[in-house]
Amino acid sequence: MVVEARPSAGGSIGAAHVARSPADGYTLLLATLSHVTNPGLTAGKSTWHPADDFSGIVELVNAPVVALVPASLPVRTLKEFVE
């Protein structure tokens, strides 16, 4: 096994490398939540798509996600925030 760290850009550089690699089962990507959110934050500049270019094989960690807003913002639910 060879581990090749390709940090930076919230994981997008490593994800782009893996997306371009042959689908031969020898290249794996260990991804975090940013793997799903980054393409939406880069305004269409991403060269890969989390659902189209990758297949999930195992969930290593299950961690809660918390959305925080300033206390002065008059919302109490995610639905209120989106509206």
The per-residue pLDDT for 49 is 85
Give the amino acid at 64. Answer: P
Distances (CA, A) of 20 to 10, 11, 13, 72: 18, 14, 11, 45
Residue 67: count of CB within 10 angstroms of its CB: 8
Write down the pLDDT at residue 62.
85
pLDDT digits (tens, 9 = 90+) for 20-74: 999 898 999 888 877 777 777 777 678 888 888 998 898 888 888 788 899 999 9
Ordered by start, the domain boundaries in the chain are: 1-83
pTM of the model: 0.66
Q: Which pLDDT band, with edges at 50, 70 and 90, does 4 fall under?
A: confident
- CB distance 29 to 14 below 8 Å: yes
